[in-house]
Amino acid sequence: MYEGVVQDLIDELGRLPGVGPKSAQRIAFHLLQADPADVRRFAEVLLEVKEKVKFCSVCFNVAEDDQCRICRDPRRDPSVLCVVEEYKDVVAIERTREFRGRYHVLGGAISPIDGIGPDQLHIKELLSRLGDDAVTEVILATDPNLEGEATATYLTRMLSPLGLRITRLASGLPVGGDLEYADEVTLGRAFVGRQAAT
């Protein structure tokens, strides 16, 4: 329907997550009319990201050097290791400013349906870190969904012989939400995990 390269652009945009055919068209038309310098900068950032962004050799977090900012930071507590699925989970936890330890990014969660087993994740590297390092606590901060829970269960079984403290993030009602809108599982967990009022 569209002139060759415009259709190519719409196709490329349509491959991005959350961008449907209509949005892809709208974005393409926007870019057609945009300042060429702006579009060139966008294209350059895309190329740069794939060139510059590496993964930390220690924790597999996103890094611009061999090690990520957090692994290089001597003020971070080396005794607590927070295991997450993805880089974006690191960013989400950093935003809370509640955690001063280090991370280990698995690169996903165990999901037999998607063909992702323990071998596709950075679990071997986690085990060798626990052998070398002065880690005393491992926080399993996988997503609170089926795959995340399966991964945490698997890791708990793998790590318990090491004699470390292994913890999970608390489940319960989201702060600022309405009790009546919480799903049954969340509300159930909030009951099970109830704490003494202070």
Residues that bind a second copy (CB under 8 A): 1-6, 8-9, 12, 15-19, 23, 25-32, 36, 38-50, 52-53, 62-64, 68-69, 86-88, 91, 94-95
Alpha helix locations (H) across the chain? Answer: 4-14, 21-33, 36-52, 69-72, 87-96, 123-132, 146-159, 184-192
Which CB, 38 or 133, lies closer to a second copy? 38
Smallest gap from residue 169 Cβ to a second copy (A)? 20
Spatial distance between the Cα atoms of 177 and 179, rounded to a whole number of angstroms: 6
Which CB, 44 or 133, lies closer to a second copy? 44
Tokens of 49: 């990201």
Smallest gap from residue 101 Cβ to a second copy (A)? 18
Smallest gap from residue 103 Cβ to a second copy (A)? 13
Smallest gap from residue 41 Cβ to a second copy (A)? 7
Spatial distance between the Cα atoms of 132 and 142, rounded to a whole number of angstroms: 23
Beta-carbon contacts of residue 104 (< 8 Å; ≥ 6 apart): 59, 60, 81, 82, 83, 84, 122, 125, 126, 129
Smallest gap from residue 129 Cβ to a second copy (A)? 21
Which CB, 56 or 159, lies closer to a second copy? 56
Spatial distance between the Cα atoms of 140 and 150, rounded to a whole number of angstroms: 11
Which CB, 51 or 183, lies closer to a second copy? 51
Which CB, 17 or 131, lies closer to a second copy? 17
Nearest to 101 by CA among 67, 84, 77, 85: 77
